[in-house]
Structure 1
């Protein structure tokens, strides 16, 4: 552990709130790196060198300061110790009889600040590498041995089932993503949290998914400010990449097909979510040929919309007609017209399935 200039300046600032004297912090070489008197920064402090060399308190009165040709000022200098090692020196400038009273208090304060900084740094390190482990796990980039080794290191149980939840903010920024992560860390239990390159917040959820899911969000965020996608449920660690990919696919499909919705569940959109990743391939182009022909012959897209509503209503003629506000005979006419243009029949299961797939892929 070393004291850098930022940490040293923090020590000076906080200790000078306690006492009304100028405080200096010297590094492990006895160089002043922070001071209540900024003009002294960069000076080589003889008293600090002696304090480090002898691991002792060095007191400097006026007589000694003059003896050293005023290269130092009267005051007291104490080693800053962390884990039984001297990592720097803290000095208080002033009349020796006055500042001696504050010496141990200032030393203790400095060492507490150093320990706090170390613990914070260690926590940030652990969080950063734990997050990297989670992201590699979700991308399926770890071998069997790497998975076991890193899971053991991070105390990440492999025999627990989890579900991946992805939260996409409408306008993600460093500030609002960190704000939401902070809210989750304070309010969610048994949930791992990571942020991917797209600033999407990823939750590995151990428990039952709450209903409604948007209740997990901070009250500071409105529904139109985010989208939530839930992947394949209850996966062990080795299969978490499947939960992640299905959540991503559900999110992409849901944002495109149902932009007004807030939450998308893979269980609700299994087929379209799975098909969403194959939207740019030659076999998709082949599947879309009939519906492309339909759209070419239907400039107002009345027939295509009818086809969509027909499948959304589970091929129920009465429900489709009601949803479209048309007579059932009008619906039958339109369906016949679709068969003529596409050369596909609703009475043949494979051809009907092609029409159904095309309505999904065309979205």
Structure 2
């Protein structure tokens, strides 16, 4: 550990709020790197060198100050970290007046240094956890042994089943995107500790990637538990936050390499959700609930395929200016082709529904009771939004 000017400035500022005397901080070479008297910065301090060499307190009176270079009357105490003298803290003034402050200032300096070291370790740990997440979701060339070694160093269990989750931060009420929003979200995901592996996305500045631990039961993972955790997160964000979020959870794939595939499904689910007006108000998306829309999402990029898929609906719309038939077909699929449920949702008689379905068959040239035709109609409906 080496003292730097930032830590020295913190020591000076904090200690001089406690005592009314000027405080100096010297590095391991006896050079002043922090001082209540800016004119003394960067000077060599002979008293500090004595304190470093002898590992004891050096008091300097007026007579002694005349014989040493770069010093004033006061008291100088070595700063000890891990049983090593890494610098000196000095208090300017008559030794008889400042002596009682010495141990207090020394203790304050050492506490600030310990805190700085701890924060550095936390940041190192956090940065390397994020790097590991990026390696896992990008299917890096690192083999299992290398990944395991890195994970063990970070105290992460790679054999814990996980799914990839993408959380997109959306500012509200015209607010600009804020890094503070992202940091607030990351904090909520990491505390209380749930063994989440969290990283800010390298693809989009307003996305967070989470590798969430899951519970496997009968070769399947507990979706109910994840739903509860998600809704707790939404509740913690609260209505007062100036941002909202959308969450896309990918599928589970065993093995370490499966995390990259899980990330792909989460990414595709988020893309499909954002591209659909149908889901504008929905916040949480499970890949398993939207497999077909997700898989069909990119079909719009291939215009001729999309046009072919939509052609039956285009013919229907030409003869359905009020959109009644299209609304009926959509409700029919939403109710899993259950006639009774569709009638109930639309508040119509069964004969009315039968009449409308017959009209749909006439206009689209597709049969509702033919599996290939009804599948084509369903795919056209879910790919149009």
Structure 2-normalised TM-score?
0.81
Structure 1 CA distance, aligned partners of 2:319 and 2:149?
60
Residue of structure 1 in register with 2:257 after alignment: 238
CA RMSD of aligned residues (A): 3.0
C-alpha displacement at 1:51, in angstroms?
3.7
Residues 77 and 351 of structure 1: is their aligned pair in 2 closer, same or farther, counting only changes over 3 Å? same
Residues 116 and 96 of structure 1: is their aligned pair in 2 closer, same or farther, counting only changes over 3 Å? same
Q: Does 1:65 align with 2:65?
A: yes
Aligned partner of residue 219 in structure 1, secondary structure: helix
Across the two proteins, how many residue pairs are aligned to each other?
A: 362
Aligned partner of residue 170 in structure 1, secondary structure: strand
Q: Mapping of 1:127-138 within 5 angstroms?
A: 127-138=126-137
Match of 2:236 among 219, 225, 234: 219
C-alpha displacement at 1:110, in angstroms?
1.4
Q: Does 1:249 align with 2:248?
A: no
Structure 1 CA distance, aligned partners of 2:298 and 2:12?
57
Residue of structure 2 in register with 1:352 after alignment: 374
- Which sits farther off after the overlay, 224-233 or 105-114? 224-233
Residue of structure 1 in register with 2:214 after alignment: 206
Structure 2 CA distance, aligned partners of 1:218 and 1:128?
28
Residue of structure 1 in register with 2:195 after alignment: 190
Structure 2 CA distance, aligned partners of 1:115 and 1:23?
19
**Which segments of 5 or more consecutive residues in structure 2 lack a partner in the other structure?**
172-176, 216-221
Structure 2 CA distance, aligned partners of 1:302 and 1:225?
34
C-alpha displacement at 1:89, in angstroms?
2.2
C-alpha displacement at 1:352, in angstroms?
1.9
Structure 2 CA distance, aligned partners of 1:81 and 1:278?
66
Residue of structure 2 in register with 1:228 after alignment: 247
Aligned partner of residue 80 in structure 1, secondary structure: strand
Residue of structure 1 in register with 2:48 after alignment: 48
C-alpha displacement at 1:64, in angstroms?
2.0
- Which sits farther off after the overlay, 72-81 or 224-233? 224-233
Q: Is the 8 A contact 1:12 1:36 kept in 2?
A: yes
C-alpha displacement at 1:155, in angstroms?
2.7
Residue of structure 2 in register with 1:117 after alignment: 116
Residues 89 and 289 of structure 1: is their aligned pair in 2 closer, same or farther, counting only changes over 3 Å? farther
Alignment deviations for residues 336-363 of structure 1 (CA, whole Å, 9 cap, x no partner): 4433443333233222212111111111
Aligned partner of residue 168 in structure 1, secondary structure: strand
Aligned partner of residue 2 in structure 2, secondary structure: coil
Structure 1 CA distance, aligned partners of 2:27 and 2:356?
84
Q: Is the 8 A contact 1:52 1:86 kept in 2?
A: yes
Structure 2 CA distance, aligned partners of 1:142 and 1:323?
52
Residues 291 and 49 of structure 1: is their aligned pair in 2 closer, same or farther, counting only changes over 3 Å? farther
Residue of structure 1 in register with 2:218 after alignment: none
Q: Does 1:168 align with 2:168?
A: yes
Alignment deviations for residues 55-92 of structure 1 (CA, whole Å, 9 cap, x no partner): 554332111222347x4211122333334544332111
Alignment deviations for residues 291-350 of structure 1 (CA, whole Å, 9 cap, x no partner): 344445545444333322221121223333332334444434443443344333323322
- Which sits farther off after the overlay, 148-157 or 108-117? 148-157
Aligned partner of residue 288 in structure 2, secondary structure: coil
Aligned partner of residue 206 in structure 2, secondary structure: coil
Aligned partner of residue 226 in structure 1, secondary structure: strand
Residue of structure 2 in register with 1:33 after alignment: 33
